[in-house]
Amino acid sequence: MDHYIDIRLLPDPELAGAHLMDVLFGKLHLALAARQVGDIGVSFPGVASGRHGLGDRLRLHGSAAALDGLMAGRWLAGLSDHVSIGLMQPVPADAPHRGVRRVQAKSSAARIRRRQMRRHGYNEAQALERVPDTVERTLTLPYVSLRSASTGQPFRLFVEHGPLLAVARPGHFSAYGLSPEATIPWF
């Protein structure tokens, strides 16, 4: 994680910034999934607490070779009028680190009950007894709205920026550029 590239969303009077971030992140996800390497992480330096959006900047973190490999692809096709791509830069030597990870919530008791009925053969009364309404958990974290490539269903990918750490933690990044253990430089 010694280099980074900033991709900034340009203001557009016809498209909301959150929608542009959704499209940009969706294209990045497809590019990272195609690479199947897990060596590029992401962060959102413009994220603000209390807002659902992730801001107007997506920062890619990785080695110079990994970032060059990603940017050599055509994954940003169609977005050239909507983004400004910064030059690859070295990470500041004194930058602290932070984890950026996906958080999933069991958001719908009804959905969990249906799954229990399907998987375990419970009837409606049994599922209601085993899964009370109190299991529902809502998140107030920022998110991007994506569409599942396998099912076509829309979903929200919630992103949590962890606490600042003095030292980096190595690890593997998912096809979303997020990791439950690895950290990225934060500056």
Question: Catalytic site residues?
Answer: 29
CA 179 to CA 154: how far, in whole Å? 22
Please provide the size of the chain in residues: 187
Cβ contacts of residue 151 below 8 Å, gap of 6+?
A: none
Q: Measure CA 158 to chain center.
A: 7
DSSP class per residue in 117-181: HHHH---HHHHHHHS-GGG-----S-EEEEE-TTT--EEEEEEEEEEEESS-------TTS--SS
Centre a 10 Å sphere on the Cβ of residue 73 and count the other Cβ atoms it contains: 13
- Are 8 and 88 in contact by the 8 Å Cβ rule? The answer is no
CA 26 to CA 32: how far, in whole Å? 10
CA 43 to CA 46: how far, in whole Å? 9
